[in-house]
């Protein structure tokens, strides 16, 4: 028997390991996205239903966690993570828990299945409280979670991973607003667009150190297809485009002026772009750019959320 057939310690209660399998540091992206969506509704005078906001965030985080676990499972099955000796943990190369022998493919699959099953009753309860639109958003999100990693679609391997995650986080912001507002609205859609672009840029730059290992197993990510220079060009376009759209949308009177707090992330994005360009052929040196991109993405969402929250507080 090997590790994929015999999960180590599978009969024991191991919440600490299961938590690590979800790659918890990246779950902050979803917390920020939910905070942003909740704040856009509050700023428009829809009030704040705190229990619903907490429930929405918990379900969205659970869906994100399931996606991370599924990604580890399918990267293990394809050999992408096992052959990735140039990854920059914890930013790239997955959780490494299967490769380090701390868990197995079977236990990873079981955890992903459990998380997805728990989402069903939670989503239905949320729909009862907030309206049927939640079901459509939830089903679309789960489809993206599954299609990103799992065959036969494996969108991450077809150069569509960045588009998939952009759509997923667009829906998270939109959904968090919908739960409070009970209808779809243009303002959360507008700010969700630039936040989604930042998340796509984060996935793109994280794929650069993994590109060689991914290419060897036929995982044709966007970083593999574009090469280092092309990845840098698209990364720069996404991050600058996100900030430019935020400024333009405020000028167009879509979100209010305080949403410009999201521009606080621009210097970090510019730094990461410059670092990526200068070290695009030396991926082992990309860690500062990866860390800065994570910080920029979180600050972009938090800056906008803070602006909307200020408006809601003074509404």
Confidence tier at 13 by pLDDT (50, 70, 90): low
Statement: residue 293 has pLDDT above 50: yes
User: Which pLDDT value is given to residue 2?
Assistant: 45
In this prediction, residues 279-299 reach a mean pLDDT of 94
- Give per-residue pLDDT as tens, 47-99: 889 999 999 999 999 999 999 999 888 888 877 777 676 667 777 777 788 88
Whole-model pTM?
Answer: 0.92
Taking residues 29-55, what's their average pLDDT? Answer: 93
pLDDT in tens, 179-191: 999 999 999 999 9
Q: H helices then E strands: how many in the chain?
A: 11, 0
d(CA 2, CA 158): 30
Task: Report the pLDDT value the prediction gives residue 10, as an integer from 0 to 100.
Answer: 46
- Range name among 19-23, 72-76, 219-223, 290-294 with the lowest pLDDT average: 72-76
- Under the banding of pLDDT at 50, 70 and 90, the label for residue 131 is confident
Answer whether residue 4 shows pLDDT above 50. Answer: no
The band of 1, judged by pLDDT with boundaries at 50, 70 and 90, is: very low
Can you tell me the distance from the alpha carbon of 48 to that of 60, in angstroms, rounded to the nearest whole number?
Answer: 18
Tens of pLDDT along 234-274?
999 999 999 999 999 999 999 999 999 999 999 999 999 99
Residue 280 reports pLDDT greater than 80: yes
| Torsion sign, CA atoms 223, 229, 230, 233 | positive
What's the pLDDT score for residue 9? 45
Q: Which tens digits make up the pLDDT trace of 141-168?
A: 999 989 998 888 889 989 999 999 999 9
| Burial classification of residue 265, based on how many CB atoms lie within 10 Å of its CB (0-12 exposed, 13-18 middle, 19 or more buried) | buried
Are 105 and 99 in contact by the 8 Å Cβ rule? The answer is no
Indicate the burial class of 95 (C-beta count within 10 angstroms; 0-12, 13-18, 19 or more): buried
Residues 65/205, Cβ–Cβ less than 8 Å:
no
Residue with tokens 């299961």: 18
Query: How confident is the model over 105-119, as a mean pLDDT?
Result: 92
- pLDDT score at 241: 98
| Residue-averaged pLDDT of the chain | 90
Region 195-202 average pLDDT: 98
């Amino acid at each position: 028997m090997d590790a994929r057939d015999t999960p180590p310690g599978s009969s024991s209660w191991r919440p600490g390991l299961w938590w690590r399998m979800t790659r918890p540091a990246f779950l902050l992206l979803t917390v920020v996205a939910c905070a942003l969506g909740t704040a856009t509704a509050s700023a428009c005078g829809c009030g704040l239903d705190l229990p619903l906001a907490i429930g929405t965030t918990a379900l969205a985080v659970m869906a994100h966690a399931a996606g991370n676990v599924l990604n580890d499972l399918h990267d293990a099955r394809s050999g992408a993570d096992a052959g990735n000796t140039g990854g920059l943990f914890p930013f790239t190369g997955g959780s490494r828990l299967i490769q380090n022998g701390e868990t197995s493919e079977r236990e990873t699959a079981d955890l992903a299945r459990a998380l997805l099953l728990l989402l069903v009753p939670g989503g239905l309860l949320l729909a009862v409280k907030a309206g049927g639109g939640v079901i459509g958003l939830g089903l679309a999100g789960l489809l993206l979670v599954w299609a990103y990693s799992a065959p036969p679609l494996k969108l991450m391997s077809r150069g569509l991973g960045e588009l998939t995650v952009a759509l997923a986080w667009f829906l998270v912001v939109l959904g968090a607003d919908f739960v409070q507002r009970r209808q779809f609205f243009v303002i959360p859609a507008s700010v969700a667009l630039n936040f989604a672009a930042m998340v796509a840029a984060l996935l793109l730059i994280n794929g650069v150190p993994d590109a060689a290992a991914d290419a060897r197993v036929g995982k044709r990510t966007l970083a593999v297809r574009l090469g280092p220079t092309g990845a840098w060009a698209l990364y720069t376009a996404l991050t600058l485009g996100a900030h430019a759209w935020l400024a333009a949308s405020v000028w167009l009177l879509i979100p209010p002026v305080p949403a410009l707090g999201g521009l606080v992330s621009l210097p970090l994005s510019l730094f990461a772009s410059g670092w990526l360009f200068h070290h695009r052929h030396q991926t082992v040196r990309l860690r500062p750019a990866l860390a800065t991109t994570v910080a920029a993405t979180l600050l972009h969402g938090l800056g906008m959320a803070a602006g909307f929250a200020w408006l809601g507080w003074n509404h």
